[in-house]
Amino acid sequence: MAVVSARKLWHDRDGDAERAGTRRYTESWRVETDTKTDGVVTVGAGFTFFTGVGYGSTYFEDSGAWLQRIAPRNESFSPYVWIVTCNYSSERETAADPTAEPAQITWSGEQFQRPAVLDINGDAIVNSAGDWFDDSPQMDDSRVTCQIQKNVVAVPSWILDYRDAINIAPFTVDGVYVGAGLAKCQPPQIGPEQERNSIVFRQLSLTLQFRDEGWQLYILDRGYNEIDPFDSGERIKILDSKGLEPSSPSLLNGAGEYMPDPGPSNFYNLTFDVYKQRDFSVLPGIT
């Protein structure tokens, strides 16, 4: 009640490649059993045990194509002889244990709008008199995103803690190096329970957003009050050269002092850490 031999049929191989990039391959084996009553289930399991070829195995010429189907067929002339056909595809790996499958990673992008504060030279975007526009002009804010899907045994314990977290240390995903503080994790998603080969699993989905400038909050330092340099930090109203309070917020120098004559390159942004920092190496697909 077992497979006693298996020989690959080199003359019975074929394959195809679609324009979209999907590759498929077929190969066959001549398999012999020691019992004439052995059926498809016994032959299929015995073939994998005897040859080591099973779901998740890769095609010998293409490590990006995985075994998707094993189809035993009894030869008409003998109950002991079978032809086992193996179908490979690059579409997706299907492992016997779904949680052993590697993370699936895709790249995309999202586009937002944000206030246009600085030009490409780092100068302030102001009117011809050097004043800020009342209605701040908007500009596109395109962000690259990375989607990661991974089958997991249960809901990860970290799932609530990584919502809107940024990476505290550099990491690599899909061969791409990401510096510290440049990635933010959107709320993770967990699908319903599924079952394959008597193994219960769920699919975890993660989306990472990337910003070249990082995720700190940058706010122009301006207001209606300043710190009195002659009175150890007391806040006082800003007055212009005529002794009047300004009608719009005035620029400050980063230390709380009024700047009476700022230029387009003479301004200060305050930075604030507003997102929690976490170690992204615990996330699937990340090294």
pLDDT at 114 (0 to 100): 74
pLDDT, tens digit, 9 for 90 and up, residues 17-61? 776 678 899 999 999 998 888 889 989 888 988 888 887 788 888
Select from 170, 165, 191 the least CA-distant residue to 180: 170
Q: Which of 7, 12, 168 is nearest to 81 (CA)?
A: 7
Residue 264 pLDDT greater than 70, yes or no: no
Model pLDDT for residues 61-110, shown as the tens digit of each residue: 887 788 888 999 999 899 999 999 999 988 764 566 788 888 888 888 87
Highest mean pLDDT among 124-128, 161-165, 199-203: 161-165
Please, are residues 107 and 152 in contact by the beta-carbon 8 Å criterion?
A: no
Q: What residue has token string 């045990």?
A: 49
For 114-155, the pLDDT digits (tens) are: 777 777 777 777 777 666 677 777 777 788 899 999 999 999
260 pLDDT more than 80 = no
Per-residue pLDDT at 240 exceeds 80: no
What is the pLDDT at residue 250? 80
pLDDT score, position 96: 66
Read off φ and ψ for residue 41, nearest 5 degrees: -65, -45
Give the mean pLDDT of 212-229: 85
Residue 129: the pLDDT is 67
- For the entire predicted model, the pTM comes to 0.58
Mean pLDDT in the chain? 84
Beta strands, E only, 120-263: 138-152, 166-167, 171-173, 176-178, 183-185, 189-190, 194-196, 199-210, 217-220, 222-223, 225-227, 235-237, 250-251
